[in-house]
Amino acid sequence: MSIHSSVKIHSTALIDEGATIGAASRIWHWVHICAGAVIGERCSFGQNVFVGNKVRIGNNVKIQNNVSVYDNVTLEDDVFCGPSMVFTNVYNPRSAVSRKDEYLNTVVEQGATLGANCTIVCGIRIGRHAFVGAGAVVNCDVKPFALMVGVPAKQIGWMSAYGERVDLPIQGTGAWTCPHTGDNYQLLDQYLTHTPA
- Average pLDDT of 35-44? 98
Residue 183 lies in a domain: no
Residue 116 lies in a domain: yes
**C-alpha span between 131 and 142 (Å, rounded):** 9
Tell me the pLDDT tens digit for each residue of 177-197: 999 999 999 999 899 999 999
Residue 172 lies in a domain: no
Tally of domains within the chain: 1
pLDDT at residue number 1: 63
For the domain that residue 130 is a member of, what is the CATH number? 2.160.10.10
pLDDT at residue number 189: 85
Residue 23 lies in a domain: yes
The answer to whether 160 touches 136, Cβ cutoff 8 Å, is: no
pLDDT at residue number 103: 96
21 band by pLDDT with thresholds 50, 70 and 90: very high
Tell me the pLDDT tens digit for each residue of 114-171: 999 999 999 999 999 999 999 999 999 999 999 999 999 999 999 999 999 999 999 8
Residue 50 lies in a domain: yes
**CA dist list (Å): 195 to 103, 148, 175:** 36, 22, 11
Domain extent at residue 154:
2-92+101-167
Tell me the pLDDT tens digit for each residue of 70-110: 999 999 999 999 999 999 999 999 999 999 999 999 999 99
Residue 181 lies in a domain: no
Residue 175 lies in a domain: no
Residue 43 lies in a domain: yes
Q: Around Cβ 152, how many Cβ atoms within 10 Å? A: 12
